[in-house]
């Protein structure tokens, strides 16, 4: 595929997604149009942890990891900030502000902004904490766990294998955790070591789960729609590929297979 | 227009300019065989380049904010009598002094930073091994079992022992087919989420701009 084709496809994809986002938000804004979302255990724990934080007067720990604004992890930083905004907003009934840690300095204003919006008084400046990236960040966070004794950890952003140090330390101290990373090594560690792990795009759908925000619900729906479109596209490509290799397969059969797949997806989505 | 509206407008203008510049710029073929297409493509690419360079500069400056934050947090802690914060601040001051007085000398980095990071990396291995052992405690289901089984096959299959040759074939297949497919699926999901989040920021709908 040459550069021109890629650019044309990119423009079409961006415009189509923008259209989808606005369409979803329009329908979300209408009454009686609420789609039931599948349950994600990790998100259901957050209100409980917030309550525990208020009762025990111990902070929540929210971590961006290496997700920073201005680099390839910018969407993760923005999605994490959106999630943390709702968590911090929910925690403002307690007397102690959550601690937000990050290893990308460009995320510091984002974290500070989220804290400042929810906490109008008190020392929010020292609650957003930057440490150098990688193992140094993991070392700083684990040291902080000993002193601040957070109620629970929500780690949403960009982490590598160093996430294991933080999660293991939290586990040893009996502090529950929710983790997700936009990097595969960090994601594997999150799945293995965190009490609750989000997978891949669930980080970006977070605001649709932790708040009643119509826009967030709309975005979660759009991600689901795009995911189904990719699954259908990949299935069609696979069936067409098979149809060229197998004498029994033909494009009619591939079409029929796709129609069956569509029907199955429809039935499953209606029944769940 | 209030502050949130103004910031949303600036975000929208900068975002749309950058994305159009990146998508349409630097490719004359996009505009056919017209005589001025090369010049047009270059002009379209210029705003995106400038804005991206600005972003790089802003990100570089944000490191100063990070260091200021680190110092602020630890000075506050020191006031509350935290000993480790005194160590952090003293290390910071000593490193600055070292660098200023012995310009270009990286022996402090090699003598302190590298061994400490190596020790942490060794601890990381232990944490990962411990975590692997605890997976079945946390996820006592089929998926947990599958996770541990695949991890064991991958670890044993990587060993250079002739007796484990069949496991190596399994390991190769696992890496080439299910692991690769799973990794691509996760990355595709992340990419979709990133596009939607990016558009939300681009359209000025992000929380940071809504006030």
CA distance A128 to A98: 9
| ipTM (interface pTM) | 0.82
- pLDDT of the residue at A32: 55
Closest Cβ–Cβ partner in A10, A105, A204 for B65 = A105
Tokens encoding B66:
């990070």
Kindly state whether A223 is in contact with chain B, defined as any CB-CB distance less than 8 angstroms. yes
Alpha-carbon distance of A163 to A161, in angstroms, equals 5
Residue B156: its pLDDT value, please? 86
Q: In percent, how much of chain B has pLDDT > 90? A: 7
3-state secondary structure of B188: helix
Alpha carbon of A81: minimum distance to chain B alpha carbons (Å): 8
The 10s digit of each residue's pLDDT in B39-51 is 887 888 888 889 8
Question: How many other CB atoms sit within 10 Å of the CB of residue B65?
Answer: 15
pLDDT of residue B145: 85
Tokens of residue B21, six digits? 């510049």
Neighbours of B109 (CB within 10 A): 12
**Of A140 and B204, more confident:** A140
Query: Which of B16, B63, B190, B209 would best serve as a mutation to test chain A binding (most A beta carbons within 10 A)?
Result: B190
What pLDDT, on the 0 to 100 scale, is given for residue B9? 83
Specify the residue for token string 């979302």.
Answer: A37
Distance of CA B160 to the CA centre of its chain: 33
Query: Smallest CA–CA separation between B163 and chain A, in Å?
Result: 29
Measured between CB atoms, which of B55, B120, B138 is closest to A138? Answer: B120
Q: Kindly calculate the radius of gyration of chain A based on its CA atoms and give it in whole angstroms.
A: 21
How close is the nearest chain B Cα to the Cα of A258, in Å? 20
Q: Tell me the residues of chain A between 102 and 131 that have a Cβ less than 8 Å away from chain B.
A: 105-106, 108-110, 113-114, 123, 125-126, 128-131
Q: In this complex, is the C-beta atom of A162 within 8 Å of any C-beta atom belonging to chain B?
A: yes
* Chain B neighbors of A109, CB-CB under 8 A: 62, 65
Interchain proximity A204–B193, CB inside 8 Å: yes
DSSP 3-state percent helix, strand, coil across chain B (nearest 5): 85, 0, 15
Contact A164 B132 (CB under 8 A): no
In chain B, which residues have their Cβ closer than 8 Å to the Cβ of A89? none
Q: Which chain A residues in 198-217 lie under 8 Å from chain B, judged by CB atoms? A: 199-205, 207, 215
Which of B196, B198, B205 best probes binding to A when mutated, by most A CB atoms within 10 angstroms?
B196
With CB atoms and an 8 Å threshold, state whether A7 touches B63: no
Which ranges in A67-107 belong to alpha helices (H)?
74-91
Residue B83, pLDDT score: 85
Measured between CA atoms, how close is A215 to chain B, in angstroms? 8
Nearest-5° angle of CA A70, CA A78, CA A194? Answer: 115
Q: Does B1 or B128 have the greater pLDDT score?
A: B128
> Alpha helix locations (H) across chain A?
3-29, 41-56, 74-91, 108-118, 135-148, 163-172, 184-193, 206-210, 214-245, 251-271
**Contact flag B58-A106 (C-beta cutoff 8 Å):** yes
- Closest chain A residue to B83, measured at CA: A147
pLDDT tens per residue across span B149-164 = 888 888 888 888 877 7
Does the pLDDT of residue B207 top 80, yes or no? no
Distance from CA of B155 to the nearest CA of A (A): 15
Instruction: Provide CB contacts within 8 A for A23, sequence distance 6+.
Output: none
pLDDT tens for each residue of B50-94 = 988 998 898 888 899 999 999 999 998 888 888 888 998 999 999
Average pLDDT, chain B: 83
pLDDT in tens, B8-32: 788 888 888 888 888 777 777 777 7
A33: helix, strand or coil:
coil
How far apart (Å, rounded) are the C-alpha atoms in residues A90 and A88?
A: 5
Closest in B24, B64, B194 to A204, CB measured: B194
Tokens 């990133």 sit on residue: B194
Token digits of residue A204: 């970006």
**Using CA atoms, how far apart are residues B63 and B46, in angstroms rounded to an integer?**
27
Long-range contacts (CB closer than 8 Å, 24 or more residues apart) made by B167-175? B174/B150
> What is the residue-level pLDDT of chain A in tens, covering all 272 positions?
677 777 777 778 777 877 877 777 777 666 555 566 778 888 889 989 988 888 888 889 999 999 888 888 888 998 888 888 888 888 777 778 889 999 999 899 888 888 887 776 667 777 889 998 888 899 889 888 888 889 999 999 999 989 999 998 898 888 999 999 999 989 989 988 899 999 888 888 888 888 777 777 777 888 888 888 888 888 777 777 776 666 555 666 667 777 777 776 766 665 55
Q: How far is B35 from chain A (nearest CA, A)?
A: 18
């Amino acid at each position: 595929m040459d550069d021109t084709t890629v650019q044309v496809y990119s423009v079409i994809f961006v415009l189509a997604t923008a259209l989808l986002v606005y369409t979803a938000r329009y329908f979300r804004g209408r009454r009686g149009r609420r789609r039931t979302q599948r349950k994600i255990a990790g998100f259901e724990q957050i209100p409980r942890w917030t309550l525990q934080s208020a009762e025990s007067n111990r902070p929540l720990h929210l971590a961006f990891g290496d997700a920073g604004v201005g680099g390839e992890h910018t969407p993760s930083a923005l999605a994490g900030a959106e999630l943390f905004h709702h968590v911090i907003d929910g925690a403002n009934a307690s007397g102690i502000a959550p601690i937000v840690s990050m290893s990308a300095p460009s995320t510091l204003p984002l974290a500070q902004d989220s804290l400042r919006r929810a906490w109008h008084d008190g020392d929010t400046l020292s609650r957003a904490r930057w440490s150098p990236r990688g193992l140094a960040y993991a070392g700083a966070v684990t040291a902080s766990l000993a002193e601040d004794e957070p109620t629970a950890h929500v780690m949403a952003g960009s982490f590598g294998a160093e996430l294991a140090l933080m999660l293991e330390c939290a586990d040893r101290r009996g502090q529950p955790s929710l983790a997700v990373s936009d990097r595969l090594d960090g994601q594997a560690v999150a799945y293995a070591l965190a009490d609750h792990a989000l997978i891949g795009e669930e980080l970006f759908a977070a605001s649709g789960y932790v708040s009643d925000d119509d826009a967030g619900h709309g975005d979660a729906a759009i991600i689901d729609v795009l995911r189904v479109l990719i699954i259908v596209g990949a299935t069609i490509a696979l069936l067409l590929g098979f149809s060229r290799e197998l004498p029994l397969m033909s494009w009619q059969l591939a079409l029929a297979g796709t129609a069956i797949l569509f029907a199955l997806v429809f039935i499953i989505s209606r029944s769940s | 227009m209030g502050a949130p509206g103004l910031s949303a407008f600036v975000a929208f203008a900068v975002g749309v300019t950058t994305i159009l510049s990146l998508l349409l710029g630097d490719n004359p073929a996009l505009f056919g065989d017209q005589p001025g297409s090369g010049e047009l493509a270059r002009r379209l690419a210029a705003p995106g380049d400038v804005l991206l360079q600005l972003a790089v500069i802003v990100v570089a400056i944000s490191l100063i904010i990070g260091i200021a934050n680190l110092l602020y947090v630890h000075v506050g802690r020191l006031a509350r009598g935290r000993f480790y914060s005194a160590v952090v601040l003293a290390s910071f001051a000593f490193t600055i002094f070292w660098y200023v007085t012995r310009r270009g000398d990286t022996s402090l980095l090699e003598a302190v930073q590298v061994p400490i990071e190596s020790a942490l990396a060794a601890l990381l291995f232990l944490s990962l091994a411990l975590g692997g052992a605890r997976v079945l405690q946390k996820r006592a289901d089929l998926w947990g079992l599958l996770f541990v089984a695949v991890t064991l096959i991958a670890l044993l299959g990587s060993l250079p022992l002739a007796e484990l040759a069949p496991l190596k074939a399994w390991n190769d297949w696992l890496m080439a087919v299910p692991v690769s497919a799973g990794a691509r699926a996760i990355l595709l999901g992340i990419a979709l989420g990133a596009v939607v989040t990016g558009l939300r920021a681009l359209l000025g709908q992000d929380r940071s701009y809504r006030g």
